[in-house]
Chain A
Amino acid sequence: MACRKESLLVRIQGLAVSVGMKVSATRHQLFHAKTKRLRITVDIVSAVIIILFVALFLFRSSQVMHYRWNWKPVVASFFNPRGILLKGFLTTIRLSIWSSIIAFFIGTVVGVGRLVRNRFFRMLSGLYVSLIRNLPPLVLVFIFYFFFSSQLLDPLGIDQAARNASPLVQRILALFLSEPARLTAFLSAVITLGIYEGSYIAEIIQSGIRSVDKGQWEAGYSLGLSSFDRTRLIILPQAARNALPALTGQFISTMKDSSIVSVISIAELTFQGMELTASTYRTLEIWSAVTLLYFLLTFTASILSSRIESGLRKRFAD
């Protein structure tokens, strides 16, 4: 026993000596190796903890809640070109992309509008931002769907036009927007989300413009550029670069916020999840799957955005 203790002590001492030597040798390298090893350990530990939690959850749900897991409805409705969960997933993507595009345009115009000299534009933009940001998005969706959409979009006869369009046009519409029958509802959802997110993007753009050094304006002025050209050619590109992290964050947020339009029966992921639950009563499986799908979307988007950011940073580094 004593012998083993001794040998252990010797080994620890030896380790300490070797560590000390290494530290004196390449301190920097070791630091990196150490943090890398530490990171791997942390990764493994957290993975084990997560797996344990999931196992515990599954165990508890089957033992205590008498829940019998049945993933068939989820699999059938996602891994199927006509499955409703897959359709919802694609609709959420389309919805987020279109409303982000609209939001970006509104946000840029309004964000610039808040900084112009003309008081009319400044106040109109300020009014828009403060009005939209201080309303719950759900209320906005209801107002737009039951009031503006009925008053403004329905009389345009978009649904009817889409229904009478040629099969090719209908297929293109279905691919990029929504099935022709629900086009008006989809458009009103896209516009509502665009208006809502636009108010946040306006703030981001505004602060992005403010972050550009004053000297840049003066430089533009001294080059003889008009105020519009100065904004377009000198200020906005720099402002966009400064605002990019916040903008991509807002895009991810749009993906999540798009779930609120489920209340006006847009067939996006959350709504389809509810529909599938109502049809099959597999509540836990379906919402787990929906959670995973949203995470997949937002996580992919955040990885992509960090790639873009680092790419831009390299480009503009020198």
Chain B
Amino acid sequence: MKKSRSYVLMLIWFVVLLSFFTACGAPPKEENTADNEPRGNGTLIDEISRRGVLKVGMSTFVPWAMNDKNGQLIGFEIDVAKRLAQDLGVDVEFVPTKWSGIIPALLTGKFDVIIGGMGIRPERSLKVNFTIPYDYSGMAIVANKKTAPGYGSLEEFDNPDVTVVARIGTTAADAAKKYMPNANIKLFDDEAQALQELKTGRAHAMVASAPLPAFQAIENPDTLYLPIPGTFTREPIGFAIRKGEADALNVFNSWIRVVDSEGWLAERKAYWFESRDWQSALE
């Protein structure tokens, strides 16, 4: 009798505690204003200027964003974000985030914008707003010389005996499933793990955004090769921001139009994607 009463008491305390915690956060008014701060729609740019800092969410991915040997971030995306912040008259602050959690982190207000080579996809645009594309990327495939020798087309990989690896949650994973529906697709948390699987011969091929496959084929000439030259998809890349920030969306879109017309984007892209002059900064 006494024991059951203590359990009831415990349950009551649990409910009280729970209601205390849920009471701390005001209930979200709309579905998409899940972020905490009482910022209304269209105030993101004001907030960035007031703070003096643009917080950019990104994920490491060669050559979009990577750590050089001095612990500094370098890459195409980093150049874009730095120039954007400079043109807005604020400092830039990078928040390296795991790719699988990058959209939840944006929605909960951990940073202002994702500039992370994010492909514009209909299902993603239901959760976030995309700017106009500032870059186009495509998928390429790299294969293992031992396990998949002499393949020359995607059809040859579309076979249940073939294992194709890619990074989880990326458009590369979608492309692999779309173009090789019969192949055995294995997904990893980042490219390095997928690449390791390919190099050790447990997989036949890897799908990733260009130019990674080409770079890896150059770096590992004994084990890897490119079965098909160039890319087999073309996808637009945009900044992602929380929904309903029409003002910020307009500012970013205008900025992209300006730097695109200047030729600055193309020039930066050529530096990071066609040359490997930056390689010495890494090692």
Interface residues of A (CB under 8 A from B): 65-67, 70, 72-73, 76-77, 80, 82-84, 87, 119, 123-124, 126-127, 146-148, 150-152, 154-155, 160, 163, 181-182, 185, 262-265, 267, 271, 274-281, 283-284
Contacts and interface: CB of A to CB of B under 8 A. Distances in A.
B24 A151 contact: yes
Contacts of B101: 263-265
B62 A275 contact: no
B98 A263 contact: yes
Given A80-B70, A151-B24, A276-B67, A265 B96 contact: yes
A123 B10 contact: yes
Interface string B216-250: 10010011000000000000000000000000000
Contacts of A146: 104-105, 108
Contact of A265 (B6, B24, B93, B98): B98
Given A66-B199, A146-B104, 8 more contacts: A80-B70, A82-B70, A87-B71, A150-B25, A152-B24, A154-B37, A278-B190, A279-B67
Interface residues of B, number: 51
Contacts of A84: 67, 71
B95 interface: yes
B96 A73 contact: no
A257 to B, nearest CB: 18
Contact of A155 (B9, B37, B98): B37
A278 B62 contact: yes
Contact of B69 (A67, A76, A160, A185): A76
Interface in B171-223: 190-193, 195-196, 199-201, 216, 219, 222-223
Given A150-B35, A154-B109, A279 B97 contact: no
Interface in B77-119: 93, 95-98, 101, 104-105, 108-110
Contacts of B67: 77, 84, 275-276, 279
B93 A181 contact: yes
B274 to A, nearest CB: 19
B59 to A, nearest CB: 8
Contacts of B70: 80, 82-83
Given A123-B9, A279-B60, A151 B36 contact: yes
A281 B13 CA distance: 51
Contact of B200 (A65, A87, A151): A65
Nearest to A281: B192
Interface of B: 6, 9-10, 13-14, 17, 21, 24-25, 35-37, 51-53, 59-62, 66-67, 69-72, 93, 95-98, 101, 104-105, 108-110, 190-193, 195-196, 199-201, 216, 219, 222-223, 282-283
B11 to A, nearest CB: 10
Contact of B60 (A87, A127, A263, A278): A278
Contacts of B66: 278-280
Contacts of B199: 65-67
Contact of A66 (B105, B219, B223): B223
A119 B192 contact: no
Contacts of A119: 6, 9
User: Which 7 pairs between the two chains have the least Cβ-Cβ distance?
Assistant: A151-B25, A279-B66, A278-B60, A76-B69, A277-B192, A82-B71, A84-B71
Given A163-B53, A281-B195, A73 B69 contact: yes
Contacts of A275: 60, 67, 96
Contact of A279 (B37, B53, B62): B62
A271 B67 CA distance: 13
A269 B60 CA distance: 16
Contact of A283 (B60, B97, B193): B193
A83 B71 contact: yes
Contacts of B216: 281
B190 A274 contact: yes
A182 B109 contact: no
Contact of A72 (B60, B96, B222, B283): B283
A280 B190 contact: no
A73 B110 contact: no
Given A82-B71, A127-B17, A154-B36, A265 B105 contact: yes
A262 B96 CA distance: 11
Contacts of B196: 283-284
A34 to B, nearest CB: 47
10 contacts: A66-B199, A77-B69, A82-B72, A83-B70, A127-B10, A150-B35, A163-B51, A263-B101, A265-B98, A283-B195
A163 B55 CA distance: 12
A182 to B, nearest CB: 7
Nearest to B195: A281
A24 B145 CA distance: 71
Contacts of A278: 59-62, 66, 190-192
A73 B109 CA distance: 33
B74 to A, nearest CB: 9
B95 A280 contact: no
A57 B101 CA distance: 35
A70 B282 CA distance: 13
B114 to A, nearest CB: 13
